[in-house]
Structure 1
């Protein structure tokens, strides 16, 4: 049983039917054919909600479920014995979590809700059916895993070789671009991250992060608000970081 299940109780029946999934309405995601949609609808066993700050999966835990984020933000992280935390990546609608634990027996990182999150829940035991009968969906899982590897490659490059200013510029441009594709920064919404979250992702102290963000704000690239960050010039951040985002259309999700 995951931390979310312990905190929120039994799985609830799916409130969002797969055929009416809001993610299918966004051009960023590829659509299912009728047979795939029927399988995914049966694969989904229910939904879970998690409040901001709730642990969704914990390092070392075993879970009988996989999750796709339907709404909200979360983040993957590892933590050292002395409490130092490294945020590995942020999770947004359409992202799959728990695959590592399903295939390797236990989670090697933890996942925490950054905002209130709604998760579609899938039974791990039905993964074999997906691979046996739905090769396109199986390929989608491979694509998702390869994409996560590519993202982590870029994050590692940033931490290892970019300056603090370049690191922050890259991360904020990356998050804003992903959030736009998912509809998370529309209608005046901002990136719901704290400076501590950024510091733990960038591998910088909180003081250094604060100074770096002020430099970006002075260049009119972002505006820091009480509850997060508004990116004012995404292209400017990309140019500063020397980052070109590969164009992705028809991104798969389960």
Structure 2
């Protein structure tokens, strides 16, 4: 935590009651009158630079985290050193939470961009849940959404071709960004900030960089998307949705109604 890539904020911490990502995070159902008590469980906020490992598979993180800003990749490495990305964390997502609080975590988390996180000591999580039982319900909702997304990616790995797999991933991230990062979405252009490399996409869907490049170029040629300078613009969402068999309802379960 003393590294210049991993800095703990000591001043001007974000207040939970005015947090711009609260309505998308674990604490969205907590009444405003209880937020001050929830905030007392937060030990600190931390800022990370790109390509910083927050925690590694096999470790036991001391904290659970709410992502305040930035993108992270959640992944496992095979015995040959190949990376399999399991998912991408966006603002509002909960990180390093698992049922066995004392067990080793099964994946690693690394920043793809600058990121800020709120850290809650794992040792205090049970007490926080006991005093605010609505949090447990919200975790179940958030985890069910993640399970649904994982099931679709598993189908992509086993049954979908390259175009179908990439189409689903692009739309998943596009709509999650629209819902979770207000400043990322450009309504006039129907575009989002998109920091993923072709290697990131390939590691998420199990394809080589060359194969990803070929599919993305085909989508651009066919007038379905534009993707350049860290910006993804959807030009033909209907066609992309049909191709990827994408249903927006699978990513909407943790939002305020």
The structure with more helix, counted as a fraction of residues: 1
Report if the CA contact (8 A) 1:49-1:118 is conserved: yes
Aligned-pair distance for 1:10?
4.9
- Once the two structures are superposed, residues 148-170 of structure 1 have per-residue CA deviations (whole angstroms, 9 ceiling, x without a partner) of 21211111112211111111111
What TM-score comes out, normalization by structure 2 length?
Answer: 0.87
For structure 1, list consecutive stretches of 5 or more residues without a partner in the other structure: none
Aligned to 1:246, the other structure's residue is in SS state helix
Length, aligned pairs only: 248
For structure 2, list consecutive stretches of 5 or more residues without a partner in the other structure: none
CA gap of 1:8–1:24, structure 2 versus 1, over 3 A, is closer
Instruction: Tell me what 1:251 maps to.
Output: 255
Aligned-pair distance for 1:239?
1.6
**Aligned ranges 1:215-254 → 2 under 5 Å:** 215-246=218-249, 248=252, 251=255
What is the CA–CA distance in structure 2 between the aligned matches of 1:184 and 1:175, rounded to whole Å? 15
Instruction: Tell me what 2:206 maps to.
Output: 203
What is the CA–CA distance in structure 1 between the aligned matches of 2:2 and 2:151, rounded to whole Å? 32
**Aligned ranges 1:72-221 → 2 under 5 Å:** 72-100=70-98, 103-182=101-180, 183-187=182-186, 189-221=192-224
Report if the CA contact (8 A) 2:75-2:87 is conserved: yes
- Once the two structures are superposed, residues 185-232 of structure 1 have per-residue CA deviations (whole angstroms, 9 ceiling, x without a partner) of 324642111111101111011111111111111221111214353333
- Once the two structures are superposed, residues 57-111 of structure 1 have per-residue CA deviations (whole angstroms, 9 ceiling, x without a partner) of 1111122111100011111001123221111000000100011386252111000
* RMSD (CA atoms): 2.4
What TM-score comes out, normalization by structure 1 length?
Answer: 0.88
Asked if 1:34 is matched to 2:38, the reply is: no
Aligned-pair distance for 1:40?
1.8
